[in-house]
A and B are shown apart, each in its own frame.
Chain A
């Protein structure tokens, strides 16, 4: 570890513990606490990665979680950030995005091709001819991308946690620590999060350690202060809902107030070859020295745009780095005492000078320095070369203000300190420290106290009162750290190798709005999301367009503003599956299930080919006896003095006239007169109804009822019985023989007529029975408490065994109901169908003072534009049979569609419904465009197709099977 410095005060490494890791085949030692980058650098490895597009060599740049060109692949993970990830014993690492290793990456040929790849190259080049695009796409895709995903997913789940606090402080630097400790000492519950491995922020490498230790000591005394390190507050959502990305989990934190003390991102200067390994941010060098005891270089030039550069110079010199020159973009005389200190340390200072280009073959070897003219441009005739292996840039900062932007803060550009600062903040959001434009240690500590006071006041607490110290007088960010070079390679965004000329060309091509510039050039769209590129891009665009920085504006960093592993975002697939009380029985009897809303319902009972099974189930209902589980129907009790009025106002039919112990069909329309639900309504008492809804409508319709009770101000209650009650429908000519032995209820036609409703014991269980024509045969719908439902079902099945009873599923149920032309809401109707479109004029009773949709139906009555027609094709129809959604064609135009069709074994015919234009209501045949564009002429027939008078469901006449022709 040749570049390791003597122990530094407060360093993060543990020199007692050496770990060993390999990088591209070679083994290196490191200390526990080292990051991958610091460990490699300590061993003299300076080329750590290759860039995304041109495969240029890259090294440490920010050492602050934004070195997006220094990403590693390990045996278990990919895109590992070298600048923040701790190195571990036995790690086997390689750089991502190389062909053959970081040193001899064959992809580096892209760099020499770069003049041929101008901005927008891919947009412009590969879309024509279109036929070739798949060819190019394959090649581009194989070149693009960084690490390799292990598709053999290990199934590990990232836990999601929920947490609550009074105050979240983002950033544990001087101002954040100061704010968090003060607020916690005032008694509120505070969370303090920081993305670094340790709290302290710039305390750790740029400021005195003593105050940090004092603050941390106070922090540790506080039980109401939770400190999370290695944690990114990755976004701000409404009402202070903040996702915290920790290494182990995603925490969804709800705070009552938020203080953003996220600090700043140091910004690079823009000059030729500013990406060479060895060129880095000033504070990156300080982090390497103070946290990891690593010398960033042996000899360095420092580019200064603010006083921090002078501090860096002194610290690095103290660490043993030779300072070849300090180039100040401005007059060093303005740096006052620091200038004197630096001079006293024999550091050569050059005023009004800049780096025009960095030199070196794959690694920094020297810099070319020029004097600046009055406009801040480099004067090439003054160029001179300084040999060095390090170049530190301290030219300015940009606020880490993503959370502030997301919360809706107004940000404005302030010439001093030379960055965007918050101008207005939404309620409950506060900012302090450098993100607030406040520099200088004491000012930042004070700003934290002031923010804590404001947050406490917002939370209705007192305790801290401190005035805002105000922003400093020093301009910390140079307004134009940009030095064009005729030979190019002047990088603005290292993430995607975006050069100054690319932005210039994009603006010249008309993409001169910051949002357009971003999308066209991809500036700020790489893994660091422009944290080190956007500010310079804004400056460049402002200058190109002659606008101010404020007018030019910034793009918004949306949540999550920092890359997050997909596993942190992946939720568990929560797809609730509802099962009826008889589910186990169905399963044991070969049911093949299908989804019906959230429910699973038997589609048919196997084994055997599906069609044969369904056919047999249909015939069992028509000729013998069979039973279907209809527990998924919505079931609602309506109770109260206004129950009858409520039912009248809710449904189109008159339900107040239903007699006790009787049932009636119930059809619901919305305010526009469109059919939204149907069911059966039974009456138990003057003030007590029981009504079913469709399976899919159960939840929505119940909620709708609750709302209408409030809106209509009626004295009535609704009780949702959907899950408490299970129901089954037993039907077929032999039904009474099966059911009668299980109940004392007299099932005779006289005692329990068609459409009757009764309460009785069935198989010893209290049951509600409704004699309805559900599938067009004699049948009873039996509702029982879910807990006893399986017993009732099994008892009926046992009692029916002698009569050949069998269960039937959804497919047979649909076929049976289609034969009776019972429509399915939402399948045979759509979002425009009124009862008049669906041939249900009979179901609308206008002789009620009011019902939902009445006024609309009055208007629609004479204007219905569609009509539901039945059609029929012989069972042996040659050629393709139309399917649902096939179009009805009339005079070459679309005139409707098939809504339902099925083969009826009872009739040996295909029967179907079609919603057609009103103009076709008297048509004899429908011309339907079936599969393969084959036109099928289907004769229109009256509905119901089967037993049109309904004799079989009403009367006891159906013991003999319906005549039908034998079918194949």
Chain B
């Protein structure tokens, strides 16, 4: 395929990605090195607001942005180098905490707290998703033909459900005296508050994620199981291989590309964990890297946002994901070269 044909095929797709992903990304990259801020002046202002029956008027010094002749806010953009990265990472505080061996102090610094949780979340859910997915796929595969359809259908439900609603429904089930908490309390005969400490919330969040993603893994693996070479399985049986050996030496190697595919997708998705934080309102106990970026980005009531720190934190998040993906990607490179 020559370059022009290739460009014609790929062009529209690349154009859209450039316009809506690469271009914003470049501006994020640039913003992480600059700070743009309005120029404020301090003026004395009298403000009157309603009290209950009478008005309260206060005169005080307030910072107001300077407006130019056209009524636009005058802003100043300044190159600050790595300052925003430093503000996000807080290296001095973090280093002090590390040298003193004081891990609990380290875990009160936002970025490190978020990184700790994001990595734990990603690395713990990964094997669980793969394991549950493979388990469910094997179970479905060994089930009678007539019930496979309905079982696959039910299994897919957690995967297709709108994430916002999924997190909310877990909330209803467990929050306060939610029905499942009530059940647990009845079973263990003690008062349980699942949203009152970090570790129970973390477990709930991981449980939710595995519940949500395992069906995807299961269906992919199930599709893969349909193409396992039956002859080699049969000859393995004749050779006296146990079920476990057959699984280990024939089925899993056959599924290996799919396992890597699912792992890659899951690494990417779990690393940007966000809906769980909002859905479980876990900010008090655990936060994630994407939540941190989001928090910098959302304007407070008075409309201020920390664009520069948000950009820096986004870039740091991206570096993290690239590191995580290097291993699976090397294999893709070999395949790509080998396939042609």
Genuine A/B complex = no
Report A's interface with B, CB cutoff 8 A: none
Report B's interface with A, CB cutoff 8 A: none
